[in-house]
């Protein structure tokens, strides 16, 4: 039994954990910091609203897109946000199925992150439609015009993939939340909280029969969520790979995109883990061991993403195809070479520090590396989109892309769209899974009775 | 008197005490038992002899329904409004794969969530055990065993004595 070390300090009691975690919503400890963050996030959300109103009034011409670069920030940020969402599902579902206990302290806020990141991703395909108020045309409803949606189009796949991903993530998140909502209900003393948690806990009482059916449902939904994650991002990469544009038309795309997504997602999970831990004093639950494991996962997914970079170069050179080589040269030394080298530098150079244990166990270092990875992955998506499009087959259609003010404001606005509901969620629900943490603590105590 | 009772509730300090008490109760002949715990306790369902849940079966039906719905929808839409794009096939099964897969997962996951809540009788905001004095700790750090008043062997006084002898921290009768 020496191969598995304890991840939670066994000194703490189950009741203590329940009080500590339900205490975060019930007796909110970090009002000031939360309020400052909320004001900042609301300002960004307001910026998004202004940008969207401007877009709806004047059309997509306010963005910097043109021919041939007619897919820029909208799809770029869609891919980036969707990628961030993926780590949440992977942490929750994949690690649940493989029985990795260290997920327990991380899964709840990782899942919450997924929900809101997918919302941010989901608005982009709608915004870039040109006439976004006709988005309902994407659904097969019996229109009097007799026009049905085009199911052979990747844009149509997007709608179904993102909505399914959002709905299943929501179902998985809520299923895991019910027992903790009941714990919060039982700790609540103020009438308002009692009613709020009482209603959303659905009357959960922890009966053995309930747990039995609940566990089965939770595991099965997790089992469905794992292929769903892979399929959603593969679908996104198919939008690219199914086209003939040099630099996109490659078989490496689905795994390359899925791993890159997990990479950026784990980076954002690390950012959130380090921040919440210091805000709410959760060092006893999100321990240095958790950061250590997050660091290892980040390093592993980063190296797999690096393999994608190498393979992309190999693919172009091995094909010997003129336009592929041209795109490769453009990435190395063209007008947008800064995005390629920026991606390489931000993604992989600071990452190498994670080989050292002392770096992985330091919250600050992990935070800085994760921010660097989030920026690096953002640059990578930019690079994939723009460097392929700005010089395609015809010299006569070569052109450049410069993001306009509204490109930037919409992007920064979506950060507000992510942060505002996330901060509200921190305020309202237990951000670390209470019952799973207690279960793990109990297992550890049984295994090590003298600890 | 017995008709107005829901059952007898006994509180235990840890899962091991609870499991021991459930074994003892079953040996003594009690059959209508339920336990309330703050987290799923391994082995409890076997000792209580709970039937295996059928959630996976519901999930399979949901998956088949999702795939069927998706395929019928896509074939019908292309039949009702056939678009010729560069001579590509109208009924392109490979292009239908993504939506079919997504709807399979969606229907399956949602049907399992609904089945779980349905079988558990949730939402049901009130329940007799919530009236018990110490029951709020069932979501915190205590493990409860409940002998239903409908059990053939149930007799208020004797059952309480039996439960305290089984190592309970506290025992009480729960009104219906």
Tens of pLDDT, residue by residue over A385-440, are 888 888 888 888 888 888 899 999 999 999 999 999 999 998 888 888 888 888 88
Query: Which tokens sit at A233?
Result: 């991002």
Contact B55 A179 (CB under 8 A): no
| Beta-bridge partner residues of A361 | none
Cα distance between residue A403 and residue A74, in whole Å: 11
Cα distance between residue A233 and residue A229, in whole Å: 6
Mutate to test the interface with B, among A140, A183, A212 (most CBs of B within 10 A): A212
pLDDT of A373 = 93
Contact A208 B112 (CB under 8 A): no
Residue labelled with tokens 């339900």: A22
Mutate to test the interface with A, among B128, B140, B147 (most CBs of A within 10 A): B140
- Using an 8 Å Cβ cutoff, are A44 and A80 in contact? no
pLDDT-derived band of residue A119, with 50, 70 and 90 as boundaries?
very high
**HSE on the CB side for A440, CA within 13 Å?**
22
Output the DSSP codes for B48-116: TTPPPP-HHHHHHHHHHHHHHHHHHHHHHHHHHS---STT--SS-HHHHHHHHHHHHHHHHHHHHHHHH
A214: left (phi over 0), alpha (psi -120 to 50) or beta: alpha
pLDDT of A6 = 67
- Using an 8 Å Cβ cutoff, are A137 and A119 in contact? no
Shortest distance, CA A329 to any CA of chain B (angstroms): 33
Q: How many domains does chain A have?
A: 1
Q: Please compute Rg for chain B using Cα positions.
A: 25
Shortest distance, CA A226 to any CA of chain B (angstroms): 10
Q: CATH number for the domain including A158?
A: 1.20.1630.10
Q: Is the dihedral of CA A347, A350, A354, A359 positive or negative?
A: negative
Residues 6 or more apart from B64 whose CB is under 8 A from it? none
Shortest distance, CA B78 to any CA of chain A (angstroms): 8
Contact A149 B77 (CB under 8 A): yes
Q: Which domain holds residue B37?
A: 5-52+128-175
In this prediction, does ipTM exceed 0.90?
A: no
Chain B positions in Cβ-Cβ contact with residue A140 (cut-off 8 Å): 73, 77
Question: Nearest Cα to A256, choosing from A383, A125, A113?
Answer: A383
Residues 6 or more apart from A208 whose CB is under 8 A from it? B34, B35, B36, B37, B41, B44, B45, B48, B50
Rounded (10°) angle between helices A14-26 and A405-428: 130
- Using an 8 Å Cβ cutoff, are A118 and A87 in contact? no
Pair B98, B113 in one domain: yes
Q: Which domain holds residue A38?
A: 4-450
Buried b / exposed e along B120-145 (16+ C-beta atoms within 10 A) = bebeeeebbbbebeebbbbbbbbbbb
Helix (H, G, I), strand (E, B) or coil at A232: helix
Better-predicted residue by pLDDT, A56 or A5: A56
Shortest distance, CA A272 to any CA of chain B (angstroms): 26
pLDDT of A355 = 92
Contact B138 A206 (CB under 8 A): yes
Q: How many domains does chain B have?
A: 2
| Beta-bridge partner residues of B147 | B8, B33
Q: CATH number for the domain including B27?
A: 3.30.70
Better-predicted residue by pLDDT, A418 or A14: A418
Q: Which of B95, B119, B143 is the last residue before a domain boundary?
A: B119
Q: Does the structure show a pLDDT above 60 at A451?
A: no
Name the stretches of chain B with pLDDT < 70: 1-3
Contact A148 B77 (CB under 8 A): yes
Residues A299-330: tens digit of each pLDDT: 999 999 999 999 989 988 998 888 889 889 98
Cα distance between residue A81 and residue A410, in whole Å: 13
Buried b / exposed e along B155-164 (16+ C-beta atoms within 10 A) = eeeebbebbe
Stated pTM of the model: 0.88
Q: Does the structure show a pLDDT above 80 at A7?
A: no
Pair B146, B135 in one domain: yes
Contact B120 A199 (CB under 8 A): no
Better-predicted residue by pLDDT, A53 or B7: A53
Pair B14, B36 in one domain: yes
Facing residue for A213 by CB, picked from B41, B55, B105: B55
Rounded (10°) angle between helices A208-241 and A253-280: 130
Pair B48, B33 in one domain: yes
Residues B99-138: tens digit of each pLDDT: 999 999 999 999 999 999 998 888 888 888 787 777 778 7
Q: Please compute Rg for chain A using Cα positions.
A: 23
Query: Which tokens sit at B105?
Result: 């997962």
How far is the CA of B157 from the CAs of B7, B30, B154, B163, in angstroms?
Answer: 11, 15, 9, 10
Q: Does the structure show a pLDDT above 80 at A1?
A: no
């Amino acid at each position: 039994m020496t191969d598995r070390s304890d991840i939670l300090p066994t000194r703490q009691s189950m009741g203590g954990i329940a009080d500590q975690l339900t205490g975060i919503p019930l007796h909110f400890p970090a009002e000031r910091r939360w309020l400052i963050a909320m004001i900042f996030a609301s300002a960004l959300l307001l910026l998004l609203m202004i940008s969207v109103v401007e877009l709806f009034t004047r059309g997509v011409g306010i963005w910097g897109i043109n021919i041939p670069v007619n897919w820029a920030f909208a799809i770029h940020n869609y891919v980036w946000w969707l990628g961030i969402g993926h780590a949440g599902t992977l942490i929750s579902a994949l690690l649940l199925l493989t029985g990795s206990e260290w997920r327990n302290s991380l899964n709840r806020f990782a899942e919450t992150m997924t929900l809101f990141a997918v919302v941010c991703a989901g608005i982009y395909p709608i915004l870039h439609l040109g006439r976004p108020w006709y988005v309902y045309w994407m659904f097969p409803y019996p229109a009097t015009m007799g026009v049905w949606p085009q199911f052979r189009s990747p844009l149509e796949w997007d709608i179904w993939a993102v909505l399914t991903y959002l709905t299943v993530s929501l179902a998985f998140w809520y299923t895991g939340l019910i027992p903790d909502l009941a714990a919060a209900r039982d700790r609540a003393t103020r009438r308002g909280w009692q009613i709020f948690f009482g209603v959303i806990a659905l009357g959960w009482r922890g009966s053995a029969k309930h747990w039995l059916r609940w566990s089965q449902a939770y595991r099965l939904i997790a089992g469905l969520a794992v292929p769903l994650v892979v399929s959603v991002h593969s679908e996104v990469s198919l939008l690219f790979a199914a086209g003939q544009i040099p630099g996109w038309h490659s078989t490496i795309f689905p795994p390359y995109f899925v791993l890159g997504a997990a990479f950026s997602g784990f980076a954002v999970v690390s950012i959130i883990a380090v921040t919440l831990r210091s805000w709410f004093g959760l060092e006893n639950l999100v321990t240095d061991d958790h950061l250590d494991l997050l660091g290892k996962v980040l390093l592993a997914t980063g190296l797999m993403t690096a393999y994608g970079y190498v393979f992309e170069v190999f693919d172009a050179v091995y094909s010997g195809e003129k336009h592929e080589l041209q795109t490769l040269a453009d990435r190395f030394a063209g007008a947008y070479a800064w995005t390629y080298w920026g991606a390489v530098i931000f993604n992989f150079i600071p990452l190498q520090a994670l080989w050292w244990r002392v770096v992985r166990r330091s919250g600050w270092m992990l935070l800085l590396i994760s921010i660097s990875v989030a920026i690096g992955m953002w640059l990578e998506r930019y690079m994939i989109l723009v460097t392929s499009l700005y010089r395609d087959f015809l010299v006569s259609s070569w052109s450049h892309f410069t993001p306009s003010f509204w490109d930037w404001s919409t992007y920064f606005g979506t950060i507000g769209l992510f942060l505002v509901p996330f901060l509200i969620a921190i305020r309202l629900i237990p951000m670390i899974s209470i019952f799973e943490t207690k279960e793990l603590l109990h297992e550890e105590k049984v295994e090590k009775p003298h600890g | 008197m017995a008709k107005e009772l829901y059952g007898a509730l006994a509180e235990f300090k840890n899962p091991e005490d609870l499991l021991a008490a459930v074994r003892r109760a079953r040996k003594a002949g009690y059959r209508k038992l339920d336990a309330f715990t703050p987290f799923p306790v391994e082995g409890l369902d076997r000792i209580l002899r709970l039937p295996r849940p059928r959630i996976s079966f519901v999930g399979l039906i949901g998956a088949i329904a999702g795939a069927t719905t998706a395929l019928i929808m896509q074939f019908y839409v292309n039949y009702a409004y056939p678009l010729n794009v560069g001579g590509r096939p109208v009924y392109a099964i490979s292009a239908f794969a993504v939506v079919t897969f997504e709807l399979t997962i969606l229907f399956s996951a949602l049907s399992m969530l609904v089945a779980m809540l349905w079988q558990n009788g949730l939402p049901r905001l009130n329940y007799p055990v919530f009236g018990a004095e110490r029951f709020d700790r069932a979501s915190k750090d205590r493990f409860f065993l409940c002998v239903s008043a409908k059990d053939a062997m149930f007799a208020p006084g004797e059952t309480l004595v039996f439960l305290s002898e089984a190592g309970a921290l506290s025992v009480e009768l729960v009104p219906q």
